[in-house]
Amino acid sequence: MKVFMLGWEFPPFISGGLGTACYGLTRAMDKIGVQVTFVLPKMVGNQYSPHVKLIGPDFLSSEASLKISELENVTFRTINSPLQPYSTPNSYQQRIEESLRQKHEMHGGSVNSASHLISSTHYSSDMYTEVYRYAAVAAELAENEHFDIVHAHDWMTYPAGIAVAAMSERPLIVHVHSTEFDRSGEHVNQMIYDIERNGMERADKVIAVSHFTRGIIISRYGISGEKVEVVHNGVERNGSSDLCLAETGIDKDERIVLFLGRITMQKGPEYFLHAAKKVLEVMGNVKFVMAGSGDLMHHAIEMAAELGIGQKVVFTGFLRGEDVRKIYKMADLYVMPSVSEPFGIAPLEALDNDVPVIISKQSGVSEVLMHALKVDFWDVDEIANKIVAVLKYPPLQETLANHGNFEVRKLRWKDSAQKCLRIYEGMLVGV
């Protein structure tokens, strides 16, 4: 099985769970023998990824191919040219349209317009231009590849997935890791929503990371339930890390409650801080660590100060790699008060590091975790009560950590990859 996979980020350059999920899934696919060509929009430099080996540009001047040494069946193609001056999404649609025209002239048949294939709306901002540039170059790269399935991750790659599927006449899967309703609530960006809906409508199959997300896809995007499959995320086993509390401002006798994720509306940082204030009213030896970055970070810092708990809240900024493992090992409890979480890999990582978790009921991961304390994201009193209970009663903390750790051992990327493979095989029957 050969898969042409489109993703927007990959370790070490990640901004959230998408890159982690892409890495875990491709690594598992590699182990079961699925051959993946993974197309990235930017160069991954060796200075940040010693496990990545350049194998040289051999398709376009703006493209280099990479292969991670431990992944025998995964090849990386990167599209690393900068945005061209005065370029617009429409100009990249024209490139795709020209390629389609040439293809149909060679093989006969009608010509579909790129704007019809990708979207009926023209965008002008840099982000949208980048998305369509990625789509145009990915379609050109695909002409030199042989594959059975096109697999596109999240909205930034849906236009590319549609273009590549049209060029290759191969089935398209779009993988929904989050939706615009998760990121923005009811105040959706209409342009992103249109791209998401167009991708889901034109896909042959839609993979959702949870039943929670599947429900949103069906109810908010009007996609038939028969078309949407659920493949839960997994987690990788991590080794132990040497720890050091120096320079953290945390005393050895202080308990650590961790928030790790993007500091955005979706993740509920304000509910974490309000719960922290209530906890600190009854327990003094607790530090609340907020690890991550995002558009609400400055607001969260100001809120901590306004609540009078600034000295008890530590903001680490964005963490990656070994620093993430260290912060998990330091933590006594992980809290995820997400307003709308399609899945949520971080609780699995926390349990994998023997850290008990409190998660919002409004999350996909709550479907697969039984040994986790679950709360409504808005119920700060209940969040605080559960934090106090875990920190004050060691048997509860130990039970949640041990049983949760055992539970996540069964949630592996290998199973996710096997489910994807079965979906691939089902789509190719009769093709």
- pLDDT for residue 173 is more than 50: yes
Q: Find the mean pLDDT for residues 63-82.
A: 65
Cα 103 from chain centre: 34
- pLDDT for residue 356 is more than 80: yes
Q: Report DSSP letters for 200-259, one per residue.
A: HHH-SEEEESSHHHHHHHHHHH---GGGEEE---------------TTTT--TT-EEEEE
Q: What is the pLDDT of residue 95?
A: 67
Q: Find the mean pLDDT for residues 71-76.
A: 82
The reply to whether 186 and 268 lie within a common domain is no
Q: Does a structural domain hold residue 240?
A: no
Say if CB 291 and CB 260 are below 8 A apart: yes
The reply to whether 399 and 417 lie within a common domain is no
Say if CB 424 and CB 32 are below 8 A apart: no
Q: Does a structural domain hold residue 229?
A: yes
Q: Does a structural domain hold residue 241?
A: no
The reply to whether 185 and 291 lie within a common domain is no
**What contacts 380, CB < 8 A, 6 or more positions away?**
271, 274, 275, 278
The reply to whether 355 and 378 lie within a common domain is yes
pLDDT tens digits, residue range 131-151? 888 898 888 889 889 999 999
Q: What is the pLDDT of residue 243?
A: 44
Count of domains in the chain? Answer: 2
- pLDDT for residue 82 is more than 60: no
Assign residue 337 the CATH number of its domain.
3.40.50.2000
- Mean pLDDT over the full length of the chain: 84
Q: Report the distance separating Cα 78 and Cα 59, nearest Å.
A: 11
pLDDT confidence of 71, banded at 50, 70, 90? confident
The reply to whether 381 and 422 lie within a common domain is no
The reply to whether 423 and 391 lie within a common domain is no
pLDDT confidence of 122, banded at 50, 70, 90? very low
Q: Does a structural domain hold residue 244?
A: no
**How many residues would you count in the chain?**
431
The reply to whether 106 and 210 lie within a common domain is yes
Which tokens hold the place of 278?
A: 């209530």
Say if CB 123 and CB 117 are below 8 A apart: no
pLDDT confidence of 49, banded at 50, 70, 90? very low
Q: What is the pLDDT of residue 19?
A: 86
pLDDT tens digits, residue range 192-242? 999 999 999 999 999 999 999 999 999 999 999 999 999 999 987 655 444
The reply to whether 134 and 93 lie within a common domain is yes
The reply to whether 191 and 68 lie within a common domain is yes
Domain range enclosing 7: 2-234+413-428
In the sheet that holds 35-40, the strands lie side by side as 52-54, 63-68, 74-79, 35-40, 2-6, 149-153, 172-176, 205-208, 228-230
Q: Report the distance separating Cα 215 and Cα 223, nearest Å.
A: 10
Q: Does a structural domain hold residue 67?
A: yes
pLDDT confidence of 357, banded at 50, 70, 90? very high
The reply to whether 23 and 100 lie within a common domain is yes
Which tokens hold the place of 305?
A: 């100060």
Q: Find the mean pLDDT for residues 403-425.
A: 94
pLDDT tens digits, residue range 288-302? 999 999 999 999 999
pLDDT tens digits, residue range 303-346? 999 999 999 999 999 888 788 989 999 999 999 999 999 999 99
Q: Does a structural domain hold residue 247?
A: no
Q: What is the pLDDT of residue 57?
A: 32
Q: Report DSSP letters for 299-350, one per residue.
A: HHHHHHHHTT-GGGEEEEE---THHHHHHHHH-SEEEE--SSBS--SHHHHH
pLDDT tens digits, residue range 123-132? 445 778 888 8
Residue with tokens 């086993």: 237
Q: Does a structural domain hold residue 250?
A: no
- Rounded CA Rg of the chain: 22
The reply to whether 31 and 173 lie within a common domain is yes
Q: Give 147's DSSP letter.
A: -
Say if CB 63 and CB 27 are below 8 A apart: no
Q: Does a structural domain hold residue 239?
A: no
- pLDDT for residue 419 is more than 80: yes
The reply to whether 14 and 161 lie within a common domain is yes
